[in-house]
């Protein structure tokens, strides 16, 4: 990996390359990764008061989350930090992953406990972006089905919902 490139682990709404590229321009997907001892939650409190995806450590539980690793340049990382609201809900963390049989450190975004909520649901388009990404990467069907079952609410911002649903429609 060049000194200018970084590896990013996506597990939520950035899983689908179309979503990530709409935000950052051209990205390279390096593959999907299995994350034993982690679980996908929708418990990060968003600035719009809806719930966003988050990974939570679940050691010894047998739980598994899934993600995809992308190669980004430093300018894209700076832009992604802005989109993800670093310091306002997410913090960056290094995780050691196994990608195609090799250990690979990657940066991701996790929500500290003071930004978590049990009282919010994701918007339907947000949950559907996560699901579209999971299906794009051929994550296990039971994992995709669990995402599809996450209770969601309609976004009161109809313009934002229309933009996101248009993006979803372009994903096929």
Q: What is the pLDDT of residues 9-20, one digit of tens each?
A: 999 999 999 999
What six digits make up the tokens of 24?
Answer: 């950052």
Q: What is the CATH number of domain 5-170?
A: 3.10.490.10
Mean pLDDT score, 1-30: 90
CA angle 121, 124, 129 (to 5 degrees): 110
**Confidence band (pLDDT; 50, 70, 90) for 143?**
very high
Calculate the average pLDDT of the chain.
Answer: 94
What six digits make up the tokens of 147?
Answer: 């995402």
Q: Cα-flanking dihedrals φ and ψ of residue 167, to 5°?
A: -60, -45
Instruction: Report whether pLDDT(3) > 70.
Output: no
Instruction: Report whether pLDDT(169) > 50.
Output: yes
């Amino acid at each position: 990996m060049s000194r200018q490139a970084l590896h990013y682990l996506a597990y939520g709404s950035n899983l689908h390359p179309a979503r990530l590229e709409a935000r950052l321009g051209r990205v390279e997907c390096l593959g999907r990764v299995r994350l034993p001892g982690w679980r996908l939650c929708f418990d990060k409190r968003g600035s719009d008061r809806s719930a966003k995806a988050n990974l939570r450590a679940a050691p010894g539980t047998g739980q598994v989350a899934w993600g995809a690793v992308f190669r980004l340049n430093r300018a894209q990382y700076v832009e992604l930090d802005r989109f993800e609201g670093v310091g306002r809900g997410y913090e960056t963390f290094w995780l050691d992953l196994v990608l195609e049989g090799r250990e690979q450190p990657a940066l991701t975004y996790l929500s500290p406990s003071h930004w978590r909520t049990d009282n919010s649901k994701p918007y339907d388009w947000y949950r559907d972006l996560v699901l579209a990404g999971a299906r794009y990467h051929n994550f296990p069907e039971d994992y995709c089905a669990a995402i599809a079952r996450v209770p969601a609410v309609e976004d009161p911002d109809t313009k934002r919902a229309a933009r996101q649903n248009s993006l979803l429609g372009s994903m096929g």
